[in-house]
């Protein structure tokens, strides 16, 4: 369970960071998925921040599950 939560935390953090980098630099088009979701138009930055926070929370839960 700890490994699965750790992997999920990594994916969430990577997608959030990729979304923010895409919004700031205009690159990383193939890496992030936030800018591809149609109903998030105009809210990509907020969704990316939510993904990062959610990734941190899942990462903390994975550490708690390990002990």
- For 8-65, what is each residue's pLDDT tens digit? 999 999 999 999 998 898 877 777 788 888 898 889 999 999 999 999 999 999 988 8
* Confidence class for position 66, pLDDT limits 50, 70, 90: low
pLDDT of residue 67: 64
C-alpha dihedral sign at 17, 22, 28, 29: positive
pLDDT of residue 38: 86
pLDDT of residue 37: 85
32, 36, 39, 41: CA torsion to nearest 10 = 80
Give the pTM. 0.88
């Amino acid at each position: 369970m700890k490994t699965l939560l750790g992997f999920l935390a990594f994916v969430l953090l990577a997608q959030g960071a990729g979304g923010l980098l895409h919004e700031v630099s205009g690159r990383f088009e193939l890496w992030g998925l936030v800018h591809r979701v149609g109903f998030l138009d105009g809210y990509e930055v907020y969704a990316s921040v939510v993904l990062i926070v959610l990734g941190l929370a899942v990462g903390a839960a994975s550490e708690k599950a390990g002990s």
